[in-house]
Amino acid sequence: MKVTVDVDCTPAEARAFLGLPDVTPIHDKYIKTMLDGFDGVGSVEQMETLFKSFSPLGDAGMRLFQQMMNVGLAGMGTTKDERK
Residue 72 within a domain: yes
**Count of all residues that appear for the chain in the document:** 84
Residue 13 within a domain: yes
Together in a domain, 35 and 47: no
The alpha carbon of 46 is separated from its chain's Cα centroid by a whole number of angstroms, namely: 21
Q: State how far the Cα of 53 lies from the Cα of 49, in Å rounded to an integer.
A: 6
For residue 58, the model assigns a pLDDT of 66
Higher pLDDT, 33 or 80: 33
Q: State how far the Cα of 80 lies from the Cα of 76, in Å rounded to an integer.
A: 10
Together in a domain, 29 and 17: yes
pLDDT in tens, 54-77: 666 666 777 777 887 788 777 766
Q: What is the pTM of this model?
A: 0.41
- Number of domains the chain is built from: 2
For residue 30, the model assigns a pLDDT of 81
Together in a domain, 58 and 32: no
Residue 47 within a domain: yes
Higher pLDDT, 1 or 45: 1
Q: State how far the Cα of 31 lies from the Cα of 9, in Å rounded to an integer.
A: 25
Domain containing 23 equals 7-39
